[in-house]
Amino acid sequence: MYNYFISKREELMMHYRMRSNVESTFNMLKRKFGDHLRSKNEFSQNNEVMAKCLAHNLCVLIQESLELGIDINFKKCAGIPVAHK
């Protein structure tokens, strides 16, 4: 593994950054919503996880728009056909 690290450092670091980003996101979700699911069956658990991810993404979007002073025009976004699929 050391030889792989030395010979392909850039490739390894690209994968490590992706893993680091995923783990940071999971940590944020767990801190915000807890690390337990309330649903019993697998289908409901998948829906609960997706709802938590959606809520997290909305929170991040709002936070960044306020910090960066970006005005988001939701009416214009709703008029885009891709948003309705």
Structure tokens belonging to residue 63: 């936070």
What's the predicted TM-score (pTM) here?
0.67
Cβ distance 48 to 39 under 8 Å?
yes
Neighbours of 37 (CB within 10 A): 14
**What pLDDT sits at residue 18?**
83
Tens digit of pLDDT per residue, the chain (85 long)? 788 778 888 888 877 888 888 899 999 999 999 989 999 999 999 999 999 999 999 899 889 999 999 888 878 878 888 755 5
Q: What is the residue extent of each domain of the chain?
A: 1-36, 38-85
**What pLDDT sits at residue 32?**
93
Residue whose token pair is 């979007």: 61
Structure tokens belonging to residue 22: 């995923």
Q: Residue 28 to residues 24, 34, 47, 52, 57: CA-CA distances in angstroms?
A: 6, 10, 18, 11, 11
